[in-house]
Copies of this chain bind each other. A is one copy, B any other.
Amino acid sequence: MKPTPLAQTQFLSAQDVATLVTRVGAAATLSRMADYIREDFLRWQDFDKCARVASHSAGGVIELMPISDAKTYAFKYVNGHPKNTQVGLPTVMAFGVLADVATGVPELLSELTLTTALRTAAMSAVAARALARPNSKILALIGNGAQSEFQALAFHHLLGIEEVRLFDTDPAATEKLLSNLAHTALRLIPCNSVAQAVRGADIVTTVTADKTNATILTPDLIEPGMHINGVGGDCPGKTELHADVLRGASVFVEYEPQTRIEGDLQHLPADFAVTELWQVLRGQATGRTHDAQVTLFDSVGFALEDYSALRFMRDAAQELGIGQLVSLIPELANPKDLFCLIRPSAKPVLRSAHTAAQALADLQELALAA
């Protein structure tokens, strides 16, 4: 019998990831995450893809988003409950796993609530770098909730956006954004209406949370050359754009089968032409062809982005020594002898004592630091 390899799982808590991002810096995190996403989108054909598996209820949705290449499997658990903020909980909460395809060992378990906001913003920037006019300087940001600061920073650091025009139906949300980004070089301009925010913008991001078929952008608001980054319409019955806004634009998507169900695209007939973004990134399809063209990224969030984000988190956590090991999987001297774990004469499993000691050391350090 060969010695048992460690089947331990690296765990990154919500606090671990916050520490990681603070230490790496928001700009560098977004930039590196965008690189990971782009790298994975460039090898799109390597992945076994499926639309997410959703469980809908009256108050929201819980989804599982699996994806795999030949080496690494990833999945994300994520909910969407628009009324959660009324009880003090985030609308979107998530966690995810990276596993080894060869053995099935779950190698990383990480929070993905904060990470999802970062990866969505990084994805928006990857798309906009391919689709928006070069030298875009002004962003309209409609919806100033939990994800908005990440969007603003991604466009600032990754595209050179200098001015962000803000609108939210909840003025407190806009106030929060103004306060959170006061330390940056961005010009932040609160607006009284969507129309005021959008007028003259190079890029428009919609990132609202209501689970309704809303019409936040109408065709009269769209100006030639704009790039529209539609983030909040990401679920059946949850849309943000008037169908004619899509009809008047060149529309790009992550994974077409999923976006047809979940994106703003759900209002258009099945033969409405769209282009998958990976094809543009690889040079196999045309993105923007001229300055007056309206481009639209109908973003719903695809499992591959979480795969990329988890890869980044694993690498960055290893660089910085963040996180701890947990025993999701039992350690067995003989892998066919699972019963030894509960045999009345069972001796303590030595590796667990090792784990406890290691975790203890980690936690003592954390307790001292807190």
Seen from chain A, the residues whose Cβ lies within 8 Å of a Cβ on chain B are 1-5, 7, 11, 13-15, 18, 21-22, 26, 48, 50, 53, 55, 57, 59-60, 62, 64, 66, 68, 70, 73, 75, 77, 79-81, 84-91, 93, 95, 97, 99, 101-106, 111, 113-114, 117, 145-147, 149-150, 170, 173, 176, 180, 183, 326-332, 334-346, 348-349, 352-353, 355-357, 359-360, 363-364, 366-367, 369-370
Identify which of B88, B102, B359, B367 contacts A3 (C-beta below 8 A).
B88
A274 to B84, CA, bound (A): 43
A145 to B335, CA, bound (A): 9
Residues on the B chain within 8 Å of A113, using CB: 329-330, 338
A367, closest chain B residue (CB): B356
Q: With A336-B85, A343-B180 in contact, do A80 and B104 touch (Cβ < 8 Å)? A: yes
A57 to B46, CA, bound (A): 13
Identical subunits present:
2
The answer to whether A88 and B338 have CB atoms under 8 Å apart is: no
The answer to whether A344 and B176 have CB atoms under 8 Å apart is: no
Identify which of B15, B26, B103, B183 contacts A81 (C-beta below 8 A).
B103
A-B contact pairs, 7 of them (CB 8 A): A62-B66, A62-B101, A62-B104, A77-B99, A77-B106, A147-B338, A359-B363
A320 to chain B, nearest CB (A): 14
A318 to chain B, nearest CB (A): 20
The answer to whether A367 and B353 have CB atoms under 8 Å apart is: yes
The answer to whether B2 and A88 have CB atoms under 8 Å apart is: yes
Identify which of B15, B62, B64 contacts A53 (C-beta below 8 A).
B64
Residues on the B chain within 8 Å of A359, using CB: 359, 363
A75 to B65, CA, bound (A): 12
Residues on the B chain within 8 Å of A53, using CB: 50, 53, 64, 66
The answer to whether A111 and B327 have CB atoms under 8 Å apart is: yes
A210 to chain B, nearest CB (A): 13
A3 to B88, CA, bound (A): 6
A337, closest chain B residue (CB): B176
Q: With A77-B75, A101-B57 in contact, do A88 and B341 touch (Cβ < 8 Å)? A: no
A93 to B104, CA, bound (A): 7
The answer to whether B84 and A15 have CB atoms under 8 Å apart is: no
Q: With A66-B64, A366-B356 in contact, do A146 and B338 touch (Cβ < 8 Å)? A: yes
A42 to chain B, nearest CB (A): 22
A340 to B170, CA, bound (A): 18
The answer to whether B173 and A336 have CB atoms under 8 Å apart is: yes
A75 to B55, CA, bound (A): 11
A64, closest chain B residue (CB): B64
A3 to B338, CA, bound (A): 44
A186 to chain B, nearest CB (A): 13
A314 to chain B, nearest CB (A): 16
A169 to chain B, nearest CB (A): 12
A48, closest chain B residue (CB): B55
Q: With A73-B62, A364-B360 in contact, do A335 and B26 touch (Cβ < 8 Å)? A: no
The answer to whether A346 and B87 have CB atoms under 8 Å apart is: no
The answer to whether A340 and B180 have CB atoms under 8 Å apart is: yes
Residues on the B chain within 8 Å of A1, using CB: 88
A22, closest chain B residue (CB): B342
A138 to B287, CA, bound (A): 70
